[in-house]
Chains A and B, each alone.
Chain A
C-alpha cells in the first residue's frame, strides 16, 4: 500500500497526481498534507490530476470538495483535471455534482486555467502604498 501521495511544488503552484486506488486514510492524509504545503509554500494554486482514478465515490468526492473549500480559505485556487468519462457519468448518477470545484479536461488545459484564475485574482490585489477604492476588494 502507498503511504503518501507525492505533492510537487512548481513556482506558485502545487501539483499532484493520484495514481493509486486510495483507501480512506490515504485520502484524509492527502487533505492534511496538501493544506500544510499550501501554507508552507504560500501556494496560489493547486492542480489535482485524477486521470488514473477508476472510480470516484462519495468519500473521494467529499475529499475533493473539502480540499477545494479549505484551499479557498487559504487563498489558493484548486482545479481537478483528467476525470475519466465513465467516472463523470457515475458521479452524476450517484448524486455528486462536485459543485464549486473547477475542472479541466487535461493537465495542460488545467494549468492554463489555473494560471488565469490566479492572475485574475492578483489584479484585485492592491499595489503596495497605492490608494484604492476599498469596495473593489469587498466584492471579491
Chain B
C-alpha cells in the first residue's frame, strides 16, 4: 500500500487544502495534466458536498495501483443526514440545496471509478479512483 493521508473537512479552506494535496498525489502517480485536473475538480465537488450538505467530515487520499497502473484513491465521508434516493441525487441538475446539481453526477464523469454509499441518518461516503 502506498502513501496515505487523512484530512479534516470542517471549513471551506479545507477544500482548498484537499485540492492541493490531491494535485500532489496525482502528480506523483504521473497522471497526465487533464487527468490531474479532473481528479482535483472531482475532489473539490465531493468535498464541498460533504461540507455543505453533510456538515463536514474527512477526506482520505491514497497513492495506490490498479491493474499495475499507478492511481489516486480518494474517500470523502461525512456523518450528515445522508441521501435517501441516491439514483435521484446522481441525476444532472438535481439538488436538494441551492447548487447547480452537478457535483455528484459531474464528479462521476471525471473519474475512472466511482462508488457512493449513503442512507438516511447514516452519512455519505464517496470513493473516487483515477489511474494512469
Chain B residues contacting A87 (CB-CB under 8 Å) are 37
A62 on interface, CB distance cutoff 8 Å: yes
A25 on interface, CB distance cutoff 8 Å: yes
Q: Chain A interface: which of B64-72, B103-111, B114-122?
A: B103-111
B45 on interface, CB distance cutoff 8 Å: yes
Instruction: Decide if the interface of chain B is mainly helix, strand, loop or mixed.
Output: helix
Whether A1 touches B19, Cβ cut-off 8 Å, given contacts A55-B37, A58-B100, A95-B109, is no
Chain A count of residues within 8 A CB distance of the other chain: 24
- Are B13 and A57 neighbours in the complex by a CB distance under 8 Å? no
- Are A94 and B23 neighbours in the complex by a CB distance under 8 Å? no
Chain B residues contacting A55 (CB-CB under 8 Å) are 19, 37, 40-41, 44
* Residues of B bordering A, CB below 8 Å: 12-13, 15-16, 19-20, 23, 33-34, 36-38, 40-41, 44-45, 48, 92, 99-100, 102-103, 105-107, 109-110
Name 13 extra pairs, CB < 8 A, besides A21-B19, A62-B99: A1-B13, A23-B13, A24-B12, A25-B12, A54-B40, A58-B99, A58-B106, A89-B37, A89-B38, A90-B37, A90-B110, A95-B102, A96-B102
